[in-house]
Amino acid sequence: MRKKIIAGNWKMNFTPARAAEFANSLVNTIDDAADNVEVVLCVPYVAIDHVQYELDGTDIKVGAQNMHAEDKGEFTGEISGEMLAAMCVPYVIIGHSERRKYYNESDTDVNKKAHKALEMYITPIVCVGETLEQRKNGEVDNVLTQQTHLALVNFKTEDIPKIVIAYEPIWAIGTGETATPEQAQAACKKIRSVIKHEFGEDAAEAIRILYGGSVNPSNANELFAQPDIDGGLVGGASQKLSFAEVVKAGQANA
């Protein structure tokens, strides 16, 4: 049985002080719900230690939103996996569509970062997903096959359960337009079938595949009830106290 993950992505929101304050309020509403699902808050780098401090003693984990593939060097403004590991960060989002779009991250970058994250014992949450145009052109399966394949190049079968994939259709991110449960299920099933083809049935059954894109308290339950959806990557709705409702939907479908 795959344990569901409900991951929040705070993106570039909240100062460290505000992040701590919000985490403190949130913890009172969701701590009890956190034991049969994993709850992760991917916060801005500068807020990691503040939020860790607030969540100390709870089951809620603090993740990062990106990392560099190298350990160190002349990469002004970047943060390495080694640095995140030193801060005991257990999860990192890799290849979010905003990183791919605004910072030109390629599938090769995504693959390198995912390898480095695992090397540092950090679970990568690797994002894949099609644009609206690709969906309209009937290219969803091809895009997901290609992105999943390229993200997982050179991983060993035993690594696969240590990776998380997030299916995030780009047209549904921050738009208020959610994929229907059927669309999201079909895409996550496709991703699992690609993994089965490349790494075998056990790896495919073990890897957790999340859905992301306008998940909110009113649609979470139906999404998380789908057999191939193992939780959510939640942007806007994770920055509100009602995120607790999304966590509860995860728990109800655990």
**54 is known as an active-site residue:** no
- Output the smallest distance, CB 97 to ligand PGA, in A: 7
* Contact region with ligand PGA (CB under 6 A), list: 47-55, 56-64, 151-159, 234-242: 234-242
Calculate the alpha carbon distances from 33 to 9, 59, 81 in Å.
19, 10, 29
**One residue of 44, 81, 124, 213 binding ligand PGA per CB under 6 A:** 213
* 212 binding ligand PGA? (CB under 6 A): yes
User: Which is catalytic among the residues 96, 105, 130, 245?
Assistant: 96
Q: CB of residue 197 vs ligand PGA: minimum separation in angstroms?
A: 26
68: β partners? 80
Q: Note whether 66 binds ligand PGA by CB under 6 A.
A: no
8 touches ligand PGA by CB under 6 A: no
Is 236 an interacting residue with respect to ligand PGA (CB under 6 A)?
Answer: yes
65 vs 204 by CB, closer to ligand PGA:
65
Length, in residues, of the chain: 254
Tell me how crowded residue 28 is: count the other CB atoms within 10 A of its CB.
Answer: 11
Distance CA 139, CA 153 (A): 21
Nearest residue to 117 (alpha-carbon basis) of 98, 100, 94 = 94
* Least distance (Å) between residue 82 CB and ligand PGA: 25
Report the residue number whose CB is nearest to ligand PGA. Answer: 235
Q: How far apart are CA 207 and CA 166, in angstroms?
A: 11
Window contacting ligand PGA (CB under 6 A); options: 78-86, 99-107, 114-122, 209-217: 209-217
Catalytic residue selected from 54, 98, 105, 168: 168
Nearest to 166 by CA among 66, 94, 60: 94
Roughly how many angstroms between the first and final C-alpha of the chain, as a whole number? 9
Q: Which residues pair with 41 in a beta bridge?
A: 8, 62
Name residues contacting ligand PGA, limited to 124-183 (CB under 6 A): 168, 173-174
Nearer to ligand PGA (CB atom), residue 81 or residue 235:
235
CA distance 48 to 25: 16
Active site residue 96: yes
Determine phi and psi for 215, rounding to 5 degrees.
-70, 135
Does position 235 interact with ligand PGA (CB under 6 A)? The reply is yes
Q: Site size for ligand PGA, by CB under 6 A?
A: 13
The closest alpha carbon to 211, from 70, 2, 5, 51, belongs to: 5
215 binds ligand PGA (CB under 6 A): yes
CB nearer to ligand PGA: give 196 or 240.
Answer: 240
| Backbone dihedral angles phi then psi of residue 14, each to the nearest 5 degrees | 80, 125
Identify any residues that bridge with 215 across adjacent strands, giving them in sequence order: none
Residue 9 within binding range of ligand PGA, rule CB under 6 A:
yes
Applying CB under 6 A, the residues found at the interface with ligand PGA are 9, 168, 173-174, 212-215, 233-237
